[in-house]
Structure 1
Amino acid sequence: VERIEQLLSAYHIPVLSVEGYEADDVIGTLALQGLSRGLNVVIVSGDKDFHQLVQPGVWLLNPGRGGPAGVDEQWIGVENETERLGVTGRFVTDYLALVGDSSDNVPGVKGIGEKTALELIQTYGGLEDILARAETISKKRPREALLAQMDNARLSKELVTIRTDLDISLDLDALHVQSPDRARLRDLFVELEFHSLAKAAAADDEGAAASSLVSRQARYRSVKSVADVEMVVARARSVGRVAFDTETMLEPGAPGSVDPLRAILVGVTLCVEPGESYYLPFRHTVAGPAQTALALTDTPSSVAGTRLQSAPGNLPPLTSPELQPLRELLEDAAIVKIAQNGKYDALVLRREGIKVANLAFDTMVASYVLDPGRRS
C-alpha cells in the first residue's frame, strides 16, 4: 500500500479517504455533495451496491471488461435502473439484504432467492415492512426463513448500505488533472527495478521539457499575402517536409456526415517545424461591419437577411497562378507530407486540382497501429 501511495503521489493523483470507512462510503458522500452543488455525477464502477445511489443527477457507469467473459460498457440512470437487479434505487439495499452477496460476505436470508426477494418487495415494500409482516406470508419457506433470520437480514442491510454523511468535503480545485512528477516516477521505477517504465518516464520527462520549450517559442501565423505564401513554401522546402491540414465545411444541402467529396475548402494549415505553423485562409466571409466573428461559407450569400462578403485577408484561390508554388510543393514527391486523417485532406485538395504526393506519415493511422483496441 505504501508503494502504491508513493506512485499515486508522483503521478499527482489525489487519494481521498476517511479513517475507518470503505471507499464506497467516501464515493457515496462525495457523489451527493456534488449533486447538491448542481453537478452531474457519474460513478464509474461495476459494483451493484452503487445502484442505491442512482437518482436524477446521479448515473452509474459500468466500464465493462474484455476477454472471453467480457462485459459491455453500460450506463445506468433512473430510466433503466431496474434492468440489472429488478428494483429501483430506493429498494436496492432491501433486495441485497434478502439475497445476500457472497463476494462481499453479506449473508442475506438463506432460502430467499432473487425471484422471491422481488416478490416480497413488490408486495410489502422495504425490509422492515417485510419483517413486520413475516408471519402473514403465505409461502412457508420464505416465511420461516425470515422469522428465523431477522438479525441476519438487518445486518445484511447495514453491510450493503453506502454511507453518504462522512466527514469529508468535495474540493474540486484539488481534483484538477496535473502533470506527473516524472523525475520522482523515474526514481521510484528504478528503485522497484521496473526498468522499462523507468526508461519511459525518462523519455516523457525529456519530451515534456521539449514541449515546454516549443510552447514558449511557438510561431503561429495567419498568412495574408502571396509573398508570405512563397516564404512558407521556401521554409517547407528547406526542411524537406511539411505537415498539412485542411479546414472545411459541408457544401449546402450535403448530409450531416463528414464527406470529403461534399466538403468546401475554407483554409489550409502548414506546419514546417514543431511550434511553427501557418494558416492560409481561402473562403472566410463576414456579415457586414457589425459582425466580428467569421462565418465560413462557400460563396457570398445571406444570413437572416444580411449579405455575406469575402473576409479581408483571404488569399487568391488555390487554382490561381499566384499560388502555383504552393500547388507544386504539395505535389512534389521530394517533400515528405505528414497529416492526420490524410486520406480526407488529400481528397479535399484533389477537388481543388491538387494531387498530394509522398504522404509518408499519418498520425491517425499510427495511433491505430500502436493501439488498435483503443476506443475513439
Structure 2
Amino acid sequence: MPEKKKLVLIDGHALAYRAFHALPPTLSTKSGELTNATFGFTSMLLNVLRDERPDYIIVAFDVGRTFRHEEYPEYKAHRREMPEELHYQFERIREIIKALNIPIVEAPGYEADDVLGTLARQAAAQGLETLIVTGDTDIFQLIDERTRVLISGRRFSDTVVYDEQGIEKRYGLKPAQLVDYKAIVGDTSDNIPGVRGVGKKTATTLLQKYGSIENIYQHLDEVKSTRFREALAKARDAAFLSKHLATIVTDVPVSLDLGACRFGSFDRARLKEIFRELEFRSLMDRLPGGEVSGPPQQLSLFGQETSAPRERTALTEHQVIVTEPALDALVERLHRAQAVTFDVETTSTDAMQAELVGIALTDEPGKGAYIPVGHRTETGNQLPLDAVLNKLKPILTDPRIARYAHNGKYDITVLARHGLPIPDLAFDTMIAEWLIDPASRNLGLKSLAQARLEVEMTPISELIGKGKKQTTMDRVSVERVAPYAAADVDMTHRLVSVLEPELRKRALWKLFTEVEMPLVTVLAAMEMRGVKLDVKYLDKMSAELQKRLAALEREIQDMVG
C-alpha cells in the first residue's frame, strides 16, 4: 500500500507566543534585536521539517478580533496587548516563512485554530494524514484517526505528539469531548466561564458517563450530588456558551490548495541572509537539504538518508606533513615566528578520554599545516607520535613564541596527556569572545568565524556525520581532515587580530592577559590531577545527615499529629 501523504499545519501565533515566554529575553543580536520568539519558532519549524518530512505545509496566524469577541465581549478581555518585543518578531518570523516558500493562511473574524481545523478536515476528506504543530492544548479537540498534534512541553524544546490514545490516557476522555470538558471547567486563559463549583474530576466523571454536555443536562436529575446538580442547573446558559466559545469551527471560508502548499523549494540564499542578520549560526546546518547549496532549489533530502558533501571554496592553503624533512622544515619556519596557533584533532570531545589523531599549526593567515599521527585509514603513511611531539616541543614550550588556540584548555589537556605539556597560552579566541560578550552565541569556532570574519567554515558533521552514523576523526582520511584542520588554525590565527583590538578598546586586555590566560593552564592541570575525596569522611557525614533527617521527620509528624 502506498504511504499516505502528510500535511503539517503550524499554529504560528501559539508557537511564537510559547517561544517568547519560554526562551530567555537575553537571546538577541549584537545590535540589540530580541530574537527569542523568532529563534524558538524557527528551531521548532526546522525540527518538524527534518523529523516529519511533510509533503505539504501551511502556517496559520490570528488576524485580530473574531466572532467570539463579538458574541462574548469578555472573551480573552483580560489579556494584555501583545508586547512590542514580540510584535516586531512576528515580522521576522513571516520573513523566514516566506523564504521557506511556505504559504500563510489567515481568515478575518476567525482564530488560527479555526483555520487549522478547517484545513485539517479538508485534508482528511482528501485522504491526507495531518500533524498540527502548536503551543496550545485547545487544538486537541481536532485529534482523530487522521489528525495528530505536536505540542511543546514544559521546556520549549521538549515536544510530545498526541493521538487519540494519548488524549484518552491524559484526560480520560476522547478528543471530541474536550470542548464539553471546557464547557464545564471553563478556561481562565481565554476567560471562558464554565460552571462555577464543578471541578475537573467531577467534569471528567460526568462526561465519561454521559458523553457530552447536552446529555448531562438531559440526565441532570440523575446527578447524585445536590451541590453539583444545582451548580449545573444554575449555570446552564454559561455551560452552553462556554462550549460554543471553545469549539473550533471547521467551515472557515478557506481552501486547501495542495499545489500551493507542497514543500520542496525555498530561497536558501535569502534564508542564510536572514540567519546571518539574526545571528542564527546554529540553525544554518539544519536547513532542509543542508548539504546542498545554491539559490531556490528542489530538495533532495527527503528521499535520501545522506547526500554528497557540499563543495566549498578553499580559503586556507594547507600542507600535509608526513615525512621527517617536511616536519623539520615546518619546525624551522615556526622557530622564527612571533606567534604560533595550534589545534588538535582527536577521537572525543572529552579531553581526558580523547586519542590524538593529528596536530595542526600555523604562523600566518591563509596557511595551515597538518601532521597526522593517529588516522586508522593511513597505515604506514604517518610519522610516529613520539617523534612528532619531540620535534614540536621546542616550538610549543619556547617562551619567546606566543601560542594561540581556540578553547585552548582542551588542546593543552590532550597534548599533556600524550607527553607534551604546554607551559602557557597567550591568546584563546573563545575566551576573548566570551569576555567581550558574555551572552555571545558564537563561542564555537565555526560560529565565531562566521560572525567576526564572515567566513563559512566546514562543519565537523561533514567529516564524521551525525547521529547513529557518526564516526570518529581517526576513521576519516587524512585527505579530508587536513584542509579542515588547517582552516581551524588559520581562522583562529586571523581572529586574534580582530579580537585583540576590541579587548583593548573595552579595557579588558589586562584582565584577559593577567587573569584569564594564566588560568587556562591552571584549570587544565587541576582537571588532569583531579580532586581527592575523603570517602570515609563523606560516608560518615551521610550517615549523620540521615539521622538528622529521620529526627526531623519524627518531629514534623509529632507537630501535625
Q: Give the Cα separation in 1 of the matches to 2:97 and 2:214.
A: 42
In structure 2, what residue type is equivalent to 1:19? Answer: A
Trace 1:136-151 onto structure 2 (pairs within 5 A).
136-147=222-233, 149-151=235-237
- Quick check: 2:340–2:404 contact (8 Å CA) kept in 1? yes
The aligned counterpart of 2:430 is: 363
When residues 50 and 237 of structure 1 are mapped into structure 2, their CA distance, relative to the original with a 3 A threshold, is: farther
Structure 2: where are the runs of 5+ without partners?
1-62, 64-83, 280-311, 445-561
- Once the two structures are superposed, residues 253-293 of structure 1 have per-residue CA deviations (whole angstroms, 9 ceiling, x without a partner) of xxxxx64333322223446667755543222224xxxxxxx
Q: Give the 3-state SS of the residue equivalent to 2:189 in structure 1.
A: helix
- Once the two structures are superposed, residues 138-184 of structure 1 have per-residue CA deviations (whole angstroms, 9 ceiling, x without a partner) of 2234334444544543442343344577535655447787134599x
- Quick check: 1:109–1:152 contact (8 Å CA) kept in 2? yes
Q: Give the 3-state SS of the residue equivalent to 2:386 in structure 1.
A: coil
Q: Give the Cα separation in 1 of the matches to 2:362 and 2:177.
A: 59
- Quick check: 1:18–1:167 contact (8 Å CA) kept in 2? no
Q: Give the Cα separation in 1 of the matches to 2:168 and 2:362.
A: 53
CA-CA distance at 1:134 after TM superposition: 2.8
- Once the two structures are superposed, residues 275-320 of structure 1 have per-residue CA deviations (whole angstroms, 9 ceiling, x without a partner) of 755543222224xxxxxxxxxxxxxxxxxxxxxxx5364x212311
In structure 2, what residue type is equivalent to 1:49? Answer: D
Which among 317, 322, 344 is matched to residue 225 of structure 1?
Answer: 322
- Quick check: 1:337–1:358 contact (8 Å CA) kept in 2? no
The aligned counterpart of 2:339 is: 240
The aligned counterpart of 1:316 is: 383
CA-CA distance at 1:338 after TM superposition: 1.5
- Quick check: 2:182–2:246 contact (8 Å CA) kept in 1? yes
The aligned counterpart of 1:210 is: none
In structure 2, what residue type is equivalent to 1:356? Answer: I
Q: Give the 3-state SS of the residue equivalent to 2:88 in structure 1.
A: helix
Q: Give the 3-state SS of the residue equivalent to 1:263 in structure 2.
A: coil
The aligned counterpart of 1:23 is: 112
When residues 101 and 266 of structure 1 are mapped into structure 2, their CA distance, relative to the original with a 3 A threshold, is: same
Trace 1:296-375 onto structure 2 (pairs within 5 A).
310-311=378-379, 313=381, 315-320=382-387, 324-333=390-399, 334-340=401-407, 342-359=408-425, 360-361=427-428, 363=430, 366-367=433-434, 370-371=438-439
When residues 7 and 354 of structure 1 are mapped into structure 2, their CA distance, relative to the original with a 3 A threshold, is: same
- Once the two structures are superposed, residues 28-87 of structure 1 have per-residue CA deviations (whole angstroms, 9 ceiling, x without a partner) of 6788979x8779x68452x342444678964321355xxxxxxx9764455976898675
When residues 84 and 264 of structure 1 are mapped into structure 2, their CA distance, relative to the original with a 3 A threshold, is: same
Trace 1:155-194 onto structure 2 (pairs within 5 A).
155-162=241-248, 167-168=255-256, 170-173=261-264, 178-180=271-273
Which among 253, 257, 261 is matched to residue 352 of structure 2?
Answer: 261
Q: Give the Cα separation in 1 of the matches to 2:207 and 2:231.
A: 15
- Quick check: 1:338–1:361 contact (8 Å CA) kept in 2? yes
In structure 2, what residue type is equivalent to 1:225? Answer: V
When residues 109 and 266 of structure 1 are mapped into structure 2, their CA distance, relative to the original with a 3 A threshold, is: same
- Structure 2 length-normalised TM: 0.43
In structure 2, what residue type is equivalent to 1:62? Answer: G
The aligned counterpart of 1:284 is: 375
Q: Give the Cα separation in 1 of the matches to 2:393 and 2:409.
A: 17
Q: Give the 3-state SS of the residue equivalent to 1:337 in structure 2.
A: strand
* 1:117 has 2:209 as partner: no
Q: Give the Cα separation in 1 of the matches to 2:416 and 2:96.
A: 47
The aligned counterpart of 2:88 is: 4
In structure 1, what residue type is equivalent to 2:345? Answer: T
- Quick check: 2:389–2:419 contact (8 Å CA) kept in 1? no
When residues 76 and 268 of structure 1 are mapped into structure 2, their CA distance, relative to the original with a 3 A threshold, is: same
- Quick check: 1:220–1:276 contact (8 Å CA) kept in 2? yes
CA-CA distance at 1:247 after TM superposition: 1.5
Which among 86, 91, 106 is matched to residue 192 of structure 2?
Answer: 106
In structure 2, what residue type is equivalent to 1:245? Answer: V
Q: Give the Cα separation in 2 of the matches to 1:242 and 1:236.
A: 13
CA-CA distance at 1:337 after TM superposition: 1.9
The aligned counterpart of 1:68 is: none
Q: Give the Cα separation in 1 of the matches to 2:367 and 2:177.
A: 60
RMSD of aligned residue pairs (Cα, Å): 4.9
Q: Give the 3-state SS of the residue equivalent to 1:104 in structure 2.
A: coil
In structure 1, what residue type is equivalent to 2:352? Answer: L
* 1:97 has 2:183 as partner: yes
- Quick check: 1:18–1:26 contact (8 Å CA) kept in 2? yes
- Structure 1 length-normalised TM: 0.60
The 10-residue stretch of structure 1 (101-110 or 323-332) with the greater mean CA deviation from structure 2: 323-332
When residues 10 and 42 of structure 1 are mapped into structure 2, their CA distance, relative to the original with a 3 A threshold, is: closer
When residues 59 and 285 of structure 1 are mapped into structure 2, their CA distance, relative to the original with a 3 A threshold, is: same
Q: Which has a greater percent of helix? A: 2
In structure 2, what residue type is equivalent to 1:338? Answer: A
In structure 1, what residue type is equivalent to 2:424? Answer: N
Q: Give the Cα separation in 2 of the matches to 1:219 and 1:145.
A: 77
In structure 1, what residue type is equivalent to 2:181? Answer: Y
When residues 246 and 89 of structure 1 are mapped into structure 2, their CA distance, relative to the original with a 3 A threshold, is: farther
Q: Give the 3-state SS of the residue equivalent to 1:347 in structure 2.
A: helix
Q: Give the Cα separation in 1 of the matches to 2:328 and 2:134.
A: 53
CA-CA distance at 1:354 after TM superposition: 1.0
